[in-house]
Structure 1
């Protein structure tokens, strides 16, 4: 079971990295076209700096990173609730923040799969809540339907994140709880973790020269 769990963790990490980085690059590409200039550079900095910082922390120190990310997800949820009543930013802020949080959560998920999966579900639920809110406000039939809303930037982010969260939850369930896998110690950098396993899910034999 642990072999399957490690495969699921690593697969989810790779898919999350491709999805998050690709989505953010796509969004930033549009930002440099319109509005472009200094605002686009500022937006890029706001996205890249926390993404790099959180991912580096998750790769080097996953235990404290888990706490930091839990707080960040909580603040993100508060932001999403406030955004239901106040138009805070004239941009698809919820999907972009979700992508920023997804990658470091996936890195943490190498060790804490179950907890990372739960946090990813919360991250996906915040923009989904905004979609449900729009549907409820425009329930007279004249507004966009659920398919139209999920086909936009929000839906493109929500559905894949839920699938990725499911992979981490399944990996955590196979471990019977959020216990760090033996081959994925929480107190070692990510590079050492990957190098420490010669067979998936089993620690390398360090008795050999």
Structure 2
């Protein structure tokens, strides 16, 4: 008789008989509808076929269903999935999946949170990303507009001063370039004062 021992299973080879202790392969929970019910699932394998039961802190739960994944062949390792439906009024915070056959037992604990964990809502992610991009473009555009406005404001003031100086100079040139067409004597000038 040869024994091969692995962490989760014991295989005993005696001629053509292989005995495998139960091993839980997968477990978890899924949200069923509108916050009132959940489904727990537990997948286990063993040879011979394991029996899966569900426990809560108060005792054994009976409303389970089991589905055989592979054919019911006594010469193969059997894989089975058990599901447990839970409504809001009977929900506990901790459950145990217990897989057992005549060679051993395996168990796994499933803890609940108050609200079910949902997947990523891609429309919300898309809208949020779009909104962030629009706000970013507006912020960059506004900052460029303000920067350009401040730069033009200083240039505009300088241009106004420069233009007024040019007009003053042109006025002086105009007066100096005009010929004196009438004459006033110095006596007449002082009389008007």
Structure number having the greater helix percentage = 1
Structure whose CA Rg is larger: 2
Structure number having the greater strand percentage = 2
The TM-score normalised by the length of structure 2 is 0.19
The TM-score normalised by the length of structure 1 is 0.18
